[in-house]
């Protein structure tokens, strides 16, 4: 039902003070799953992903009034979610007061004990392989491989050229293949 | 350029590029708590309403206090933050050391010690008898006793009542030793 509203309709409803809360509720329901899984693949841990997702929607609530329709709402939401996720990992790295700490290797180790991870051995190996990628390559790989996003859409979200994204995905796939073949 | 353009999202390309990866079934291995997506919109809506009212977010008061501090701290380059915090620790330790050193010097100079002059002979004897492991310098004891004696003599000299009490003894002494006034004057 909530998917039946287009982004433009949601924005119109949001800009009307009387239907603002209702429109926002519909927006959360429409995008919560997509954004959650996008964040979860970067953050790995459910509780952290939940915190980040809530913060994303609060930022959306605060900034939606100023949102200009010259870019897609979908692109804007994904951009906030990506930035918040990468910012969260950066904060995690610095809050431990160990600048060189490898957060990704910590996440990789935590996967085995994670109650919210149900993958088999090969899925675990694949996730570990993805966690060895540089951060931006990891995001590109997830968006392309799991979410099946088009390069043009990714370019808008990550503010990167299509050519650079293709090259990034190519390198990421090669690295994952190498890790899996070990 | 040609090679880059060949990279697309279809499975055929993935087979060429990564045979192992292409064999893995695309499956989401992550789970979520039951009913998570049903309750999330209400949770977010409540948080937004509280923000709208300008109230601090319930249950997040600790985060509200510490997050800005932590953010500021993390914004500082760690290369600066670590030496600064080390310097603060050294300064605090220095102040503590200096204060304790001053106190011990004051004690050594007797500023905070209970003077022997304030103790009676019995009290001193009691301390010596019940040796509790405290070291008391012998010379200090002698000095204190001499001081006490001199003080008593001075008191006796300045107090006329004491002269009256002991005058008989003095007269007896002068008679016994056959000392007259001229001898005393000569001696002085």
**Alpha-carbon dihedral sign for residues A164, A166, A170, A172:** positive
Burial degree of A10 (CB within 10 A; 0-12, 13-18, 19+): buried
CB contact under 8 A, A167 and B45: no
DSSP state of A133: S
In terms of C-beta distances under 8 Å and separation of at least 24 residues, what long-range contacts does B99-104 make, across chains too? Answer: none
Cα–Cα dist B66/B182, whole Å: 95
> How near does any CA of chain A get to the CA of B54, in Å?
12
pLDDT bucket at B166, cuts 50 / 70 / 90 = low
**How far is residue A111 from each of residues A107, A108, A134, A159, measured CA to CA in Å?**
6, 5, 18, 30
Range in A27-31, A84-88, B160-164 the model is least confident about: B160-164
pLDDT bucket at B65, cuts 50 / 70 / 90 = low
pLDDT bucket at B124, cuts 50 / 70 / 90 = low
Q: Which residue has the higher pLDDT, A143 or B62?
A: A143
Cα–Cα dist B125/B127, whole Å: 5
Q: ipTM of this predicted complex?
A: 0.84
CB contact under 8 A, B20 and A180: yes
Winning range, highest mean pLDDT, from B66-80, B112-126, B173-187: B173-187
Winning range, highest mean pLDDT, from B49-63, B79-93, B170-184: B79-93
Cα–Cα dist B4/A125, whole Å: 27
CB contact under 8 A, B7 and A169: yes
The tokens describing B49, both together, are: 């309403």
Give the residue from A20, A54, A144 with the most B CB atoms within 10 Å of its CB, the best one to mutate. A54
Closest to B46 in 3D by CA, of A155, A142, A61: A61
What's residue B143's pLDDT? 77
What's residue B77's pLDDT? 60
Winning range, highest mean pLDDT, from A3-7, A142-146, B4-8, B126-130: A142-146
What's residue B119's pLDDT? 61
What's residue A161's pLDDT? 96
Q: Which residue has the higher pLDDT, A155 or B111?
A: A155
Q: Which 138-157 residues of chain A touch chain B by CB within 8 A?
A: 144-146, 148, 150
Averaged pLDDT for residues A120-129: 89
Averaged pLDDT for residues A130-157: 94
Q: What is the percentage of chain B residues whose pLDDT exceeds 70?
A: 52
CB-nearest to A173 from B17, B37, B40 is B17
- The nearest alpha carbon in chain A to B39 belongs to A29
- Indicate whether B2 pLDDT > 50: no
Averaged pLDDT for residues B11-18: 75
Radius of gyration of chain B measured on its C-alpha atoms: 46
Residue-by-residue DSSP string for chain B: -HHHHT--SSHHHHHHH-HHHHHS-----B---TTHHHHHHHHHHHHHHHHHHTPPPTT-HHHHHHHHHHHHHHHS-HHHHHHHHHHHHHHHHHHHHHHHHHHHHHHHTTSSSPPGGGS-HHHHHHHHHT--S----HHHHHHHHHHHHHHHHHHHHH-HHHHHHHHHHHHHHHHHTT--HHHHHHH-
Q: Kindly state whether A170 is in contact with chain B, defined as any CB-CB distance less than 8 angstroms.
A: yes
pLDDT bucket at B109, cuts 50 / 70 / 90 = low
Q: What pLDDT, in 10s, does the model give residues B42-64?
A: 999 999 888 878 755 555 555 55
The tokens describing B178, both together, are: 């056959």
What's residue B78's pLDDT? 58
Q: What is the pTM of this model?
A: 0.61
- Indicate whether B146 pLDDT > 90: no
Interface of B to A at Cβ within 8 Å reads: 4-5, 7, 9, 14, 17-21, 24, 26-33, 36-37, 40-41, 43-45, 47-49, 51, 70-71, 74, 78, 82
Q: How many CB atoms lie within 10 A of CB A52?
A: 22
Range in A1-5, A101-105, A114-118, B131-135 the model is least confident about: B131-135
Contact A176, A141 (CB under 8 A): yes
> How near does any CA of chain A get to the CA of B84, in Å?
14
Burial degree of B72 (CB within 10 A; 0-12, 13-18, 19+): exposed
Q: Which residue has the higher pLDDT, B126 or A61?
A: A61
Averaged pLDDT for residues A83-100: 80
Chain-wide mean pLDDT for chain B? 70
Q: Which residue has the higher pLDDT, A21 or B27?
A: A21
Q: Kindly state whether A88 is in contact with chain B, defined as any CB-CB distance less than 8 angstroms.
A: no
Give the residue from A48, A107, A177 with the most B CB atoms within 10 Å of its CB, the best one to mutate. A177
In terms of C-beta distances under 8 Å and separation of at least 24 residues, what long-range contacts does B123-131 make, across chains too? Answer: none
Chain-wide mean pLDDT for chain A? 89
Contact B19, A178 (CB under 8 A): no
Cα–Cα dist A81/B97, whole Å: 52
Cα–Cα dist B9/B18, whole Å: 12
What's residue B9's pLDDT? 47
The tokens describing A47, both together, are: 């509780």
The tokens describing A121, both together, are: 């051995």
Range in A34-48, A107-121, A137-151, B72-86 the model is least confident about: B72-86
Judged by DSSP in three states, A117 sits in: strand
């Amino acid at each position: 039902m909530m998917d039946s509203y287009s982004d433009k309709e949601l924005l119109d409803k949001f800009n009307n003070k009387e239907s603002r809360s209702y429109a926002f509720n519909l927006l959360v329901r429409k995008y919560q799953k997509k954004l959650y899984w996008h964040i979860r693949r970067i953050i790995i841990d459910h509780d952290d992903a939940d915190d980040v997702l809530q913060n994303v929607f609060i930022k959306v609530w605060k900034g939606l009034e100023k949102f200009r329709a010259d870019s897609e709402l979908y692109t804007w939401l994904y951009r906030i979610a990506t930035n918040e996720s990468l910012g969260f990992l950066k904060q995690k790295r610095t809050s431990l007061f160990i600048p060189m700490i490898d957060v990704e290797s910590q996440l990789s180790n935590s996967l085995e004990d994670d109650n919210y991870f149900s993958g088999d051995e090969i899925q675990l190996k694949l996730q570990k392989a993805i966690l060895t990628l540089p951060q931006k390559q990891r995001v590109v790989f997830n968006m392309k491989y799991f979410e099946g996003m088009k390069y043009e859409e990714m370019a808008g979200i990550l503010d990167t050229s299509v050519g650079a994204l293709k090259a990034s995905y190519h390198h990421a796939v090669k690295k994952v293949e190498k890790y899996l073949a070990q | 350029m040609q090679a880059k353009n060949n990279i697309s999202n279809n499975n055929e390309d993935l087979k060429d590029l990564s045979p192992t990866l292409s064999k893995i079934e695309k499956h989401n291995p992550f789970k979520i708590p039951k009913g998570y997506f049903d309750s999330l919109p209400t949770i977010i809506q409540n948080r937004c309403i509280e923000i709208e009212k300008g109230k601090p977010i319930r249950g997040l008061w600790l985060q509200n206090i510490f997050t800005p501090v932590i953010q500021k701290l993390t914004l500082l380059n760690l290369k600066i933050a670590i030496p600064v915090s080390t310097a603060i620790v050294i300064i605090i330790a220095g102040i503590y050391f200096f204060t304790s050193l001053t106190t011990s010097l004051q004690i050594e100079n007797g500023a905070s010690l209970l003077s022997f002059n304030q103790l009676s002979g019995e009290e001193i004897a009691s301390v010596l008898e019940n040796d509790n492991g405290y070291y008391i310098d012998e010379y200090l004891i002698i000095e204190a006793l001499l001081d006490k004696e001199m003080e008593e003599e001075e008191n006796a000299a300045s107090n006329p009542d004491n002269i009256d009490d002991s005058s008989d003894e003095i007269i007896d002494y002068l008679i016994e030793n056959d000392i007259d006034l001229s001898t005393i004057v000569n001696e002085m």
